Structure 1
Amino acid sequence: MADSNHIPLTASELGNLWMTYQDKTMLMRVLEHLLEHVEEQEIQQLLQSSHDFSKQAVETISTIFKEEGAVVPIGFTENDIYKNKPKLFDHLYDLLFLQMINKIGISLFALYSTMSFRQDIRDLFKKLTDNSQEELEMVTKILLEKGILVRSPYVSMPKEVTFVQDNDYLSGYNILNKTRSLNTIEVSLIHHAIETNLVGLQLMIGFAQVAKDKQVKEYFVKGMQLSMKIETTLGEFLREDFIEPPATPAGKATNSTVAPFSDKLMMYITNLLSTFGLGSNALGGAFSLRSDLPMTMARIALDIYAFAKKGGEIMIKNGWMEEPPQIEDRRKLTSS
């Protein structure tokens, strides 16, 4: 029987490795800027460890590509970071950013693992998933210790099992035609969406301040406006039930107008977060049992999609969108 490690890569394995290469080279560049300005040794060690692991993952993927006779992607290089520039974000934003990236990583790498067949590829994605979970655990621990991480609200513990009595529960209205209160599943999804969106908002503010291209700068301003709209819209669901939406007292964008990153890198990060936002909204809509929530999530998803589509157009216009590996164009091959 053939050694599974020498079986050619499948399309899903090739595509997922390519995506991971893009994400990890992006993360390395961001961490290099954050490491220039980190203020605490504990955080410095965490950021450096994350950078070292990302570098190792990139080298592993490069080796796999070379062994398979595939071109190694460009991803993001030293040309995408400008060293010795003023810090773009205040103290502790580095942890909030790393927290968000690892949330994305856990979701993606676990999914990639289920789409892989070769043992070495499955092992790689398992290692990536485990590392993301470990980093998220360390980040969460530090943020909680510093009182920065906002917990979702506490509720009274249920004392008995109950069942839904009528369809008004699904419609969001009871017999008095008043919106029923949120359940804990809905609260958790809304809280998480707002929490992630707040980190993205500060990212958009920082990027808008330093972007060099006028169209890119205007795009990030639109990202700021979209983030604020999402926070207001989802926050209203919590306020109606007398729950204060999450907010963080730390990790803001500074007043710097000097870019530490290329516009290409900042656009890619924004595209990645938009894609994650679409997935989060789909999840929120799918698990919400009040009809007004899925409808709201769907409207938000349309806004995010339009924003992401515009971002893709800007990246293509500027030659910043690296093309993923393509399958053979059989129509073209058979027509020649």
Structure 2
Amino acid sequence: MMEEHQTRLTSSEIAALWSSVQNNSMAICVFKHFIKNVDDEDIKSIINNALSISEENLSLSEKILREDKQPIPVGFRDEDFNPNAPRLYSDTYYLYYIKNMAKVGLSVYGVALATSAKSSVRDFLSKAIQSSTNLYNKTSDVLLSKGLFVRPPYVSTTNEIDFIDQKNYKGGLLNINRRPVNVIEISHVYANIETNLVGQVLLTGLTQVAQTNEVRKYCEKGKDIATKHVKLFSAILTDDDIPVPTPSDLTVSNSTIAPFSEKLIMFHTALLIQSSTSNYATAAAASLRKDIATTYVRLAVEVTSYASDGVNIMIDHSWLEEPPQIINKKNFSNQ
């Protein structure tokens, strides 16, 4: 193997490592709360695994940034986590939360790997993808073993291969003489139902424990948006007599003691929004029925507007850490 020429980190590599520090330091706080409030030993093992992965990813990200003499983000620390806070979510919710976050990790690290050149960064991202894959599989195995894994809908399909030969296959924006959904559209619709359910329950709990009225109202609005989106996506399936399987026991306790700081709550909400926006864009591109694709675009606009409100709140309270910024050379030319 040829020895790599030593180079500085590129902008994409700095972005990937900077985001990794932010996201994993937040995840460590969340998993520490989970681990202190879990009953089932199998689920406890999964949370421990998730915590170890986040701690390792955080350590490696910081190491590579230091080697390149890059500043280390503040991220989230002990003061953002209340170790004495009682349980906020059910054991079953922990599994669905970790399953969803493992999917997010696969997506984020996959995109970062495709834009990285430095071998140390590619090695880190490749290991992070493998860790996320293993975590997803282990979590799915526990869900299956406990009869908690909710599968996407089973459907009956035609027994023939064919090509689309009519443009009306795409339908119109009105539900008039439209064709049934295809399996690709079902796959994306169900995935977005599940993701929004996880977000809905998360925000229900955060609304309950938020310490300021501003953050509480913001989380409540996010919960309402997620609830509405679940109903809209579910209707796409039920209109074609496809049942909508939903997980049970994704419950929230009656605790009003916050396990997390307001800063962490807002950041976590922003992370959910980023994931939803990416999911909706992918689903819109894959959906050949115009009404479905348009629904994704419309909901993405709503989510983006909600995200902008959250950014304003974080800026007002100095909770939003600024990503690495390039030097503004125009300032030099004006001197």
Query: Which TM-score tier does this pair reach, normalised by the shorter chain?
Result: over 0.9
Deviation at 1:156, TM superposition (A): 2.3
- Report the 3-state secondary structure (helix = DSSP H, G, I; strand = E; otherwise coil) of the residue aligned with 1:270: helix
- Bigger drift between 179-188 and 249-258 goes to 249-258
The question of 1:303 aligning with 2:302 is answered yes
Alignment of 1:69-108 (within 5 A): 69-108=69-108
In structure 2, do the counterparts of structure 1 residues 71 and 238 end up closer, same or farther at CA, with 3 Å as the change threshold?
same
1:50-101 deviation line (CA, Å, top 9, x unaligned): 2122212212222222222221111000010001211110122111111111
Q: 1:226 — aligned with what?
A: 225
Tell me whether 42-51 or 256-265 shows the greater mean CA deviation: 42-51
Q: Are the aligned partners of 2:49 and 2:135 in contact in 1 as well (CA < 8 Å)?
A: no
Aligned residues of 2:64 and 2:121 also touching (Cα < 8 A)? no
The count of aligned residue pairs is: 335
Deviation of 1:3 after TM superposition, in Å, equals 5.0
SS at match of 1:245: coil
Q: Quick one: distance in 2 between partners of 1:108 and 1:62?
A: 17
Q: Name the stretch that deviates more: 59-68 or 80-89.
A: 59-68
5 Å-filtered alignment, 1:156-305, equals: 156-171=156-171, 177-305=176-304
Q: Distance in 1 between matches of 2:241 and 2:213?
A: 41
| Distance (whole Å) between structure 2 residues aligned to residue 330 and residue 42 of structure 1 | 55
Question: Which deviates further from its counterpart, 30-39 or 159-168?
Answer: 159-168
For residues 6-45 of structure 1, the aligned pairs below 5 Å read 6-45=6-45
TM-score, normalization: structure 2? 0.96
Cα 1:294/1:205, change in 2 over 3 Å:
same
Conserved? CA contact 2:17–2:62, under 8 Å: no
Change (3 A) 1:100 1:5: farther
Question: Structure 1 residues 298 and 121 mapped into 2: Cα distance closer, same or farther (>3 Å)?
Answer: same
Give the whole-Å Cα distance in 2 for the aligned partners of 1:177 and 1:202. 35
Aligned pairs (5 A) from 1:112-127: 112-127=112-127
- Asked if structure 1 preserves the Cα contact closer than 8 Å seen for 2:89 and 2:205, the reply is yes
For 1:22, give the aligned amino acid.
Answer: Q
- Kept after mapping to 2: 8 A contact 1:195/1:246: no
Structure 1 gaps of 5+ residues are: none
TM-score, reference length from structure 1 = 0.96
Structure 2 SS opposite 1:322? coil
The CA RMSD over aligned residues, in Å, is 1.8
* Conserved 8 A contact 1:35-1:44: yes
Shift of 1:172: 5.0
Deviation at 1:34, TM superposition (A): 0.1
Contact 1:173 1:179 in 2 (8 A): no
Q: Is residue 194–residue 246 contact of structure 1 (8 Å, CA) maintained in 2?
A: no
Are 1:5 and 1:119, in contact at CA under 8 Å, matched by a contact in 2? no
| In 2, Cα distance between equivalents of 1:334 and 1:4 | 36
1:149 aligns with 2:146: no
CA contact (8 A) 2:173 2:290 kept: no
Offset of residue 295 of structure 1 = 0.8
Change (3 A) 1:8 1:88: same
**Equivalent-residue separation in structure 2 for 1:253 and 1:100 (angstroms):** 17
